[in-house]
Amino acid sequence: MTIPAPYFDRVERLRTQMRAVGADVFLCDHAEMLAWLTGYTVSETFYRGVVVPLDGDPVWVLREIDVVPCRAATWVGTVLGYADHADAHAVMAEVIGRFAPANIGADFTSFGFTAYTRDRLGELLPEARFTNLHDVSNQIRAVKDAGEIENTTRAATIADGAMAAITAALEPGMRPRDAAVIAAHHYLTNGSDDYWVGPISISRRASAGGHGMGFLHATFTENRLADGDILHVELVPRIANYSARFMRSIAIGAPRDEDIATMARMQTLQDAQFAAIRPGVKAADADAVLRDAMLAEGLRETYPNITGYQLGLYAKTPRSSDTSLSLHPAANWQFAQGQIFHLYTTAWGLALSETVVVTQDGCQLLTKTPRRILQASEIL
């Protein structure tokens, strides 16, 4: 069959990996890889996946109830459905067996490829062996094509608009969830895939024992905002499953002089990190530009977390972020044109981050909101 763009290049990337390990077929069961490779993805209510042979046409295997939407979205010509009372692994094994593989490639880090799945398929396909294509489902997708960058750029525009809407409407007495309602409305009104907003918290009330990192992933509370509070807002809208994300701190009332100064230093040091990023630069070196300066200036007492991670396609997996490529002191990979990252830093209850794309000679910010402390009721 003829594989349409952009999927032809994606399948060829995968088949290059398969040839390197001598795999006759690849079992794709990672939700995000499924979308990237075939145009369709679905949650793993029941086991599902695509069998990709080294030569020949792939086969989708999933619940019968999902066959119609799959066929509407995918270029894969053969979509095989099974009844909910069927043995999904047995159906998958039968399809794999049609290709008589001696070597089955699989990503052992895929959320779909559990120990049970490996053992069950091994029992059903005793003549074949499984070869681990470690983390291929994540890293093969690291360099984005023009369509992927466009989807992320559109998501970034929605994120900027949602941040402006929250900032304009925010006032004392509101709760973090009220800010989330504003963002969700903006997302859905402007074309986002869904209403999952991202973490929003009153940063210094959520950061126990000092103003460290605890506020980043704090859960909603019913606390109401008062003058002097800082609302931490991280927005994560998606377009066609592609997410842009960024963080800002919004002051209730006039921000304190010391907070303004802290954010200004964070901006300057992060700008230096942005300036260091270009194709061929080692990730650990770009990480050190920000990390070492934040520690040296006393903005952070410790820095256990990464300073960024790759962005891309997000589907129904247990994770909300893809850290398979991330910036930290041991990161020995190099930047490449077309990669997209969420780069972030925090200090004393304040947060600053952007979505950036690596260009031919540097990196470009896709999120455009002013890089400073925002103030409630401000019109951006």
Q: Are the C-beta atoms of residues 41 and 241 closer than 8 Å to each other?
A: yes
Please give the Cα distance from 218 to 212 (Å, whole number): 12
Please give the Cα distance from 101 to 98 (Å, whole number): 8
pLDDT for the residue numbered 206: 54
Q: How many residues does the chain have?
A: 380
Whole-prediction pTM: 0.94
Q: Which amino acid is at 61?
A: V
Among 135, 136, 140, CA closest to 338 = 140
Please give the Cα distance from 82 to 91 (Å, whole number): 8
Please give the Cα distance from 269 to 271 (Å, whole number): 5
In order of start, what are the domains of the chain with their CATH numbers? 7-139 (3.40.350.10), 146-375 (3.90.230.10)
Among 60, 73, 76, 79, CA closest to 2 = 76
Q: How far apart are the first and last CA of the chain?
A: 51
Please give the Cα distance from 170 to 250 (Å, whole number): 9
Q: Which amino acid is at 341?
A: F
- C-alpha 131: how far from chain center: 26
Among 233, 240, 175, CA closest to 6 = 240
What is the SS3 assignment for 25?
strand
pLDDT for the residue numbered 211: 46
pLDDT tens, the chain, 380 aa long: 899 999 999 999 999 999 999 999 999 999 999 999 999 999 999 999 999 999 999 999 999 999 999 999 999 999 999 999 999 999 999 999 999 999 999 999 999 999 999 999 999 999 999 999 998 999 999 999 999 999 999 999 999 999 999 999 999 999 999 999 999 999 999 999 999 999 999 987 655 444 456 677 777 778 899 999 999 999 999 999 999 999 999 999 999 999 999 999 999 999 999 999 999 999 999 999 999 999 999 999 899 999 999 999 999 888 888 889 999 999 999 999 999 999 999 999 999 999 999 999 999 999 999 999 999 999 99
Task: Name residues whose C-beta falls within 8 Å of residue 143's C-beta, 6 or more positions apart in sequence.
Answer: 336, 337, 338, 339
Please give the Cα distance from 292 to 250 (Å, whole number): 26
Burial 13-41 (b: 16+ CB within 10 A, else e): bbbebbeeeebbbbbbbbbbbbbbbbbbb
What is the SS3 assignment for 80?
strand
pLDDT for the residue numbered 209: 45
pLDDT in tens, 175-215: 999 999 999 999 999 999 999 999 999 987 655 444 456 67
Q: Are the C-beta atoms of residues 104 and 25 closer than 8 Å to each other?
A: yes
Instruction: Enter the tokens of residue 116.
Output: 């049970």
pLDDT for the residue numbered 212: 58
pLDDT for the residue numbered 194: 93
DSSP secondary structure letter of residue 4:
P
Q: Are the C-beta atoms of residues 234 and 353 closer than 8 Å to each other?
A: yes
Burial (CB count within 10 angstroms: exposed 0-12, middle 13-18, buried 19+), residue 361? exposed
- Chain position carrying tokens 């992927």: 148
Burial 66-99 (b: 16+ CB within 10 A, else e): beeebeeebbbeebbbbeeeeebbebbbebbeeb
- Partnered with residue 353 across adjacent β-strands are 344
